[in-house]
Structure 1
Amino acid sequence: MRYLATLFWTLILVHMLMYVAGSMLGASYDFGTATILGIIAFILVMIVSAFIPEQPAEEQ
């Protein structure tokens, strides 16, 4: 479930970014390109999260 939620929000955010950036540059919005970039971003997020330790923060 964690992976599905991360994939969903990554795709939504990348599609939003592509739409806004494309509108600002005067370019057309391409659903396929945004989806591919969203999947690449999802893979990068999963790789980075694998290197972050899951230990709780120490109390001060």
Structure 2
Amino acid sequence: MMRYFWTLFWAFLLTQMLTYVVSSMLGIAYKFETGLLLAIVFTVFVAIITAVIPNEPKESH
């Protein structure tokens, strides 16, 4: 549970920073909601990827 919290925490911080920088470079208004949505999507994506990837080491042939 804590790994999902920290994933969301860092995704939130990094996407807010990314959203701010990109919106400044494009000359458009900064929107908090855009960064929040991206953070949630990224966290769900990471959770799905970690569930799909096997955790056991592969046997050598």
Q: TM-score range by the shorter chain?
A: 0.7 to 0.9
Q: Deviations over 1:3-58 (max 9, x none)?
A: 11111001111111111111111111111121112111111111111111212477
Root mean square deviation, CA, Å: 1.7
User: How many angstroms apart in 2 are the aligned matches of 1:5 and 1:57?
Assistant: 28
Alignment of 1:1-60 (within 5 A): 1-56=2-57
Structure 2: 5+ residue stretches without partners = none
Distance 1:12 1:57, change over 3 A: farther
Structure 1 stretches of 4+ moved >3 Å: none
Q: Sequence identity, in percent?
A: 48
Q: Is 2:4–2:43's contact at 8 Å kept on the other side of the alignment?
A: no
TM-score (norm 2): 0.81
